[in-house]
């Protein structure tokens, strides 16, 4: 299983809205970056990811999982270049992990959240996954 990070502005799509979507989950639409799209193409059912509030909040607030493989993005109209996956909420992060804390942690200095801040869908290494989960108060993180 791989791990990912999904960025969303809470004013557009918040963690609470993601949780309210329930077990069915939602399409992760609107991504118009080839590298982010390719990351979604690489995802497998059950892959876990961090839900990150960008711009307002700047913190990891929850954990999601992929529940549908990459498919045409319904918001891209007839432009078949753009794809998305579906994700559903798994659980809250007990203590949200701020960008400031991620940047201050030497173990996370190479994390895409630090080095590729603008990328909206990012890979997360196993080591980074465990460290952010630890920082967020998850003793037994979902894998």
pLDDT at 69: 98
DSSP-derived secondary structure letter, 24: T
pLDDT at 70: 98
Query: What is the pTM assigned to this prediction?
Result: 0.96
The closest of 57, 133, 141 to 100, measured between CA atoms, is 57
pLDDT at 49: 98
> Cα 50 vs. chain centroid, distance in angstroms?
4
User: What does the pLDDT profile of the chain (143 residues) look like in tens digits?
Assistant: 899 999 999 999 999 999 999 999 999 999 999 999 999 999 999 999 999 999 999 999 999 999 999 999 999 998 999 999 999 999 999 999 999 999 999 999 999 999 998 899 999 999 999 999 999 999 888 87
Q: How many residues does the chain have?
A: 143
Longest dimension (CA), the chain: 45
| Residues 6+ away with beta carbon under 8 Å from 102 | 60, 108, 111, 113, 114, 132, 135
Q: Which domains does the chain show, CATH number per domain?
A: 3-136 (3.10.590.10)
Q: What are phi and psi of 84, to 5 degrees?
A: -150, 165
Rounded CA separation 87/90 (Å): 9
Rounded CA separation 78/18 (Å): 26
Which helix (H) or strand (E) covers residue 25, if one does? none
pLDDT at 140: 85
pLDDT at 99: 97
Rounded CA separation 95/61 (Å): 8
Rounded CA separation 7/46 (Å): 18
């Amino acid at each position: 299983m791989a791990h990912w990070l999904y960025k969303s502005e809470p004013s557009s799509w918040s963690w609470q809205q993601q949780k309210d979507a329930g077990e069915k989950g939602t399409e992760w639409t609107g991504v118009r970056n080839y590298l982010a799209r390719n990351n979604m193409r690489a995802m497998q059912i059950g892959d876990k990811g961090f839900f990150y509030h960008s711009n307002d909040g700047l913190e990891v607030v929850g954990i999601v999982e992929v529940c549908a493989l990459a498919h045409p993005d319904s918001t891209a109209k007839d432009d078949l270049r753009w794809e998305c996956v579906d994700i559903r909420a798994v659980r809250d992060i007990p203590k949200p992990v701020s960008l400031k804390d991620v940047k201050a942690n030497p173990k996370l200095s190479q994390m895409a959240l630090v080095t590729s801040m603008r990328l909206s869908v990012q890979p997360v290494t196993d080591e980074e996954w465990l460290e952010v989960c630890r920082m967020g108060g998850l003793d037994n993180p979902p894998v």
